[in-house]
Amino acid sequence: MREDEPVEVGFPKTLDGRELKEPWDHKEFRDLVEAYYRSFIGSGGAGISIGSGCTGIRMRKNRFWRRQDFELDVPNYLPGSW
């Protein structure tokens, strides 16, 4: 994947694996997740820095974890919201 290509982001999942398809702004969520991912991988990445012009790179079973807090507006009319 090139750094100018978007990252495919699915819906978040609960701890038991259910997808949360609630009516929030998925583009905003995707942008937050993409920024998190790119903070690890790519030319500016802290985990694996890949310079421009590099090709044929394959990465498998790499795991990075860092606590990331962000706010996302969720309408208060959702079932089960408090």
pLDDT at 37: 83
If one compares 29 and 52, the residue with the highest pLDDT of the two is 29
* Structure-derived torsion over alpha carbons of residues 77, 78, 79, 82, reported in degrees to the nearest 10: -80
Residue 33, domain member (yes or no): yes
Q: In this structure, what token pair is assigned to residue 30?
A: 């995707």
pLDDT at 73: 76
Residue 75, domain member (yes or no): no
pLDDT at 71: 82
Residue 79, domain member (yes or no): no
Q: Are 31 and 39 in contact, with CB atoms under 8 Å apart?
A: no
If one compares 74 and 70, the residue with the highest pLDDT of the two is 70
- Count how many domains the chain has: 1
Residue 76, domain member (yes or no): no
Residue 73, domain member (yes or no): no
| pLDDT classification of 49: cutoffs 50, 70, 90 | low
> Which domain does 24 fall in, by range?
1-63
pLDDT at 35: 86
Half-sphere exposure of 15 (CA within 13 A, CB side): 0
| pLDDT classification of 65: cutoffs 50, 70, 90 | confident
